Amino acid sequence: MQVEGTILVFRFSAMGDVAMSASVLKEFCEQYPNLEVIVVSRILFKPFFQGLKNVRFHALEPKTKHKGIKGLFNLYQELSKYNPSVIADLHHNLRSNLLSLYFRLLKNVPNAQIDKGRSEKKALTRKENKELKPLRTTPERYADVFRKLGFRFKLSHQLKPIKNDLPASHQHYFHRNNKPFIGISPFAKHKEKVYPLEKMELVIRELNKRKYNLFIFGGGKEEAAIAENWERQFENAFSLINKLTLNEELQIISNLNLMVSMDSAGMHMASLMGVPVVSIWGATHPYAGFLGYGQSEEDGVQIDLYCRPCSVFGNKICYRGDHACMVGIDSGMIVDRIVRKLNND
């Protein structure tokens, strides 16, 4: 099916969601190479879409020229120059709704929006009468938006490895020994999704004993201090926090054998690069649909508790007060899953 024209795609945040949408767009562009795709998102996330030949990136600047209703109308005028045929709204928030409305009323451009499945997710995470069952995955929900617009679009749900050249300043890390290269993304925006750091240190300690090459990703100044302490303790651990651009991070991730991550952006960045992930789940659950694209639930480390999941995004404080979903995961469980994955068991 040959289709020509221009489609606007909205996905403004958060980092993990934008990375996941990039994985979906990669396959969409392969199936529709004659369709021009304009991705509208924050400038920080532009590297996620590099390498997609028929994709152009248009930056949303919500704190300056695109702030408020007037700013969104300015953005509408900028995007109008592309003469879009349709709009795929993968975000479905106030900003994207208003932009879509401008195009529908002023340009008669049709749009389709993501169904976030809020009622299903509420049933999955409620305290009483929890409906513990797998929901439609977020990548399929993204794909549904394109299907609503009339595109025949099938996702492979397979990892597609991408090997990028390493940043020159970090090539030496990959010439130390012939042991596997493992990324560790131990932080997350919400603390309920973070494996206790003292237990994560035990994981790093054991991996270091095995001479694996360990690269620590993600976070700000506070997290960088923690990672640098690990770097001082363990000869095979290296902190990359605040030392790389996002593009450089992706370059290094693409050369890893494995990523270890929370339910966070690290998992989705690795998925975009086609790198397998051992993921750690606490307050959240893969059933909510946010498992990394192409990843296996078998590689997720989690324990069964009556209260799990208590949150879709991990932004609710543990009502038990003991964070048992994470505390109950033994560090050996994680190490075992990593070793088995590396050995293809």
Residue 241 inside a domain? The answer is: yes
Question: What's the pLDDT at 1?
Answer: 41
Q: Please name the amino acid found at residue 225.
A: A
Domain span at 236: 181-342
- pLDDT greater than 90 at residue 166: no
Phi and psi of 137, rounded to 5°?
-70, 155
Whether residues 122 and 242 fall in one domain: no
| Same domain, residue pair 269 and 129 | no
Q: Do residues 283 and 144 both lie within one domain?
A: no
Q: What percent of the chain has pLDDT over 70?
A: 99
Does residue 267 belong to any structural domain of this protein? yes
User: Are 122 and 230 in the same domain?
Assistant: no
Contact 20, 142 (CB under 8 A): yes
105 and 190 belong to one structural domain:
no
Q: Are residues 114 and 23 in the same domain?
A: yes
Query: Looking at the structure, do residues 213 and 80 belong to the same domain, yes or no?
Result: no
Q: Are residues 55 and 130 in the same domain?
A: yes
Average pLDDT over residues 59-73: 97
Whether 58 contacts 78, CB under 8 Å: yes
**Domain count across the chain:** 2
pLDDT digits (tens, 9 = 90+) for 204-263: 999 999 999 999 999 999 999 999 999 999 999 999 999 999 999 999 999 999 999 999
Of the three residues 103, 128, 148, the one that is the final residue of a domain is: 148
Residue 176 confidence (pLDDT) above 80: no
Residue 155 in domain: no
Q: Which residues contact 313 (CB under 8 A, 6 or more apart)?
A: 190, 284
Considering the domain boundaries, does residue 101 fall inside one?
Answer: yes
Among candidate residues 123, 148, 173, the one where a domain is terminated? 148
**CATH number of domain containing 317:** 3.40.50.2000
Judge whether residue 8 has pLDDT over 70: yes
Residues 333 and 199 in one domain: yes
End position of a domain, from candidates 128, 148, 168: 148
- Asked, for residue 73, whether it belongs to a domain, the answer is yes
Distance from C-alpha of 24 to C-alpha of 104, rounded to nearest angstrom: 25
Asked if 207 and 125 sit in the same domain, the reply is: no
* pLDDT at 170 (0 to 100): 79
Residue 166: inside a domain, yes or no? no
* Domain-embedded: residue 270: yes
b/e string for 56-80 if b means 16 or more Cβ within 10 A? ebbbbeeeeebeeeebbeebbeebe
Q: Is residue 3 scored above 80 in pLDDT?
A: no
For 90-110, how does the pLDDT look when each residue is reduced to its tens digit (9 = 90+)? 999 999 999 999 999 999 999
Question: Is the confidence at residue 2, as pLDDT, over 60?
Answer: no
Residue 162 resides in a domain: no
42 with 88, same domain: the answer is yes
Predicted pLDDT of residue 4: 74
What's the pLDDT tens digit per position in 26-58? 999 999 999 999 999 999 999 999 989 899 999
With residue 200 as reference, give the H or E element that holds it.
Answer: helix 197-209
CA-closest candidate to residue 227, choices 215, 210, 212: 215
Residue 276 near residue 343 (C-beta atoms within 8 A): no
User: Could you give the CA distance from residue 343 to residue 223 in angstroms, rounded to a whole number?
Assistant: 30
259-295: pLDDT as tens digits: 999 999 999 999 999 999 999 999 999 999 999 999 9
Query: Are 188 and 303 spatial neighbours (Cβ–Cβ below 8 Å)?
Result: no
Q: Is the domain of 29 the same as that of 110?
A: yes
Residue 38's beta-bridge partner residues?
A: 8, 56
pTM value?
0.96
